[in-house]
Amino acid sequence: MPHPDDEMLAALASGEPVPAEVTDHVSDCPTCAADIAAVRHVLAVARTVESVPSWDAPPDGVWGAIVAEVDAEPAGDVAPHRSSAPLRTVAQRDTSDGHISPAGTAADAGTAAERRSPHGWMKNKRLLRWTVGAAAAGLLVGILGGRLVDQQPQTGVTVSSVALDTLDTQQRVGSAQVLRMDNRLNLKIETTPLEAPHDEYLEVWLINTDKKRMVSVGILGSGEQAASFPIQPDLLEQGYTIVDISREPLDDKPAHSGDSLARGKLPV
């Protein structure tokens, strides 16, 4: 039989007798079992509430503070500004100086596309392999420009922040924060230790809300719980607000592997 409708499932979840064919179907259908669990969860959590609050609004100052923050935004900025010069879909890595520079990639996103070449990428790959190896051995100190930020106390102002959740189960695994310090923006990632297999590595991306363009922000060491990467100040305005952590194989494809571990959209 087809899936019973929501109301039939609610009936079953709330203990009403239902036709035998419904119980038969449900006992063998993970989708319906999950639906029933969701209704039972509603019943269970409602019954844990011991005292119903007054639902009174917070003190008056809170609304005033909201108005002040909203007023501080540029007037008329209703639609997000999008760049007229499209970036490439693939990741852009700065290969001009022969170093892996996650800082350079996102910070030079507009021009790095022209500089990237297959040859440069291959050279990068070898360096990357070395870098990942060094990170695994605990030798990586200040090689990636972006990490230097972590050696100073974080005194930046939080511009935006978002939780990073797994795509399938929406389980929270960390957070991303955009911090402004002296007109420079840093993307700070904090996660529970995310493991990459020995032949893969973790890469941080900013994906455009158009879901077509993205830039590579940098590499997150396997098991690393906090990292900070400089980003070009206008990336967020251009719509690059979706923070994504992917697992990348050590291959010759610079584009996103499609294997996302976690994601979150920065409110801008």
Query: Cβ 81 to another protein, closest distance in Å?
Result: 12
Beta bridge partners of 203: 219, 246
CB 26 within 8 A of CB 37: no
- Residue 157 within binding range of another protein, rule CB under 8 A: no
Residue type, 155: T
Binding of residue 122 to another protein (CB under 8 A)? no
Q: How many helices (H) and strands (E) does the chain have?
A: 7, 8
Q: How far is the CB of 34 from another protein (least distance, A)?
A: 11
* Number of neighbours of residue 76 by Cβ within 10 angstroms: 6
> Restricting to residues 49-78, which ones interact with another protein according to CB under 8 A?
49, 52-59, 61-63, 65-66, 69-70, 73, 78
Q: Applying CB under 8 A, does 172 fall inside the site for another protein?
A: yes
Q: Cβ 17 to another protein, closest distance in Å?
A: 10
By C-alpha distance, which of 204, 219, 147 is closest to 173?
204
Stretch that binds another protein, among 9-17, 101-109, 119-127, 149-157 (CB under 8 A): 9-17
Question: Could you say which of 4, 13, 106, 247 contacts another protein (CB under 8 A)?
Answer: 13
- Pick the binder of another protein from 175, 180, 181, 233 (CB under 8 A): 175
In the set 113, 162, 181, 250, which binds another protein (CB under 8 A)?
162
- Of the pair 70, 157, the CB lying nearest another protein is at 70
Q: How far apart are CA 173 and CA 144, in angstroms?
A: 23
3-state secondary structure of 36: helix
Place of tokens 């002296």: 182
Residue closer to another protein (CB basis): 65 or 255: 65
Q: Report helix angle 30-48 to 20-27, nearest 10.
A: 100
Structure tokens, 118: 């297959």
Among 19, 23, 38, 255, binds another protein (CB under 8 A): 38
Structure letter (DSSP) for residue 148? G
Residues 204, 244 contacting (CB under 8 angstroms): yes
Q: Using CB under 8 A as the criterion, which residues of the chain lie in contact with another protein when the complex forms?
A: 6-11, 13-14, 16, 35, 38-39, 41-43, 45-49, 52-59, 61-63, 65-66, 69-70, 73, 78-80, 160-163, 169-173, 175, 190, 192, 225, 264-268
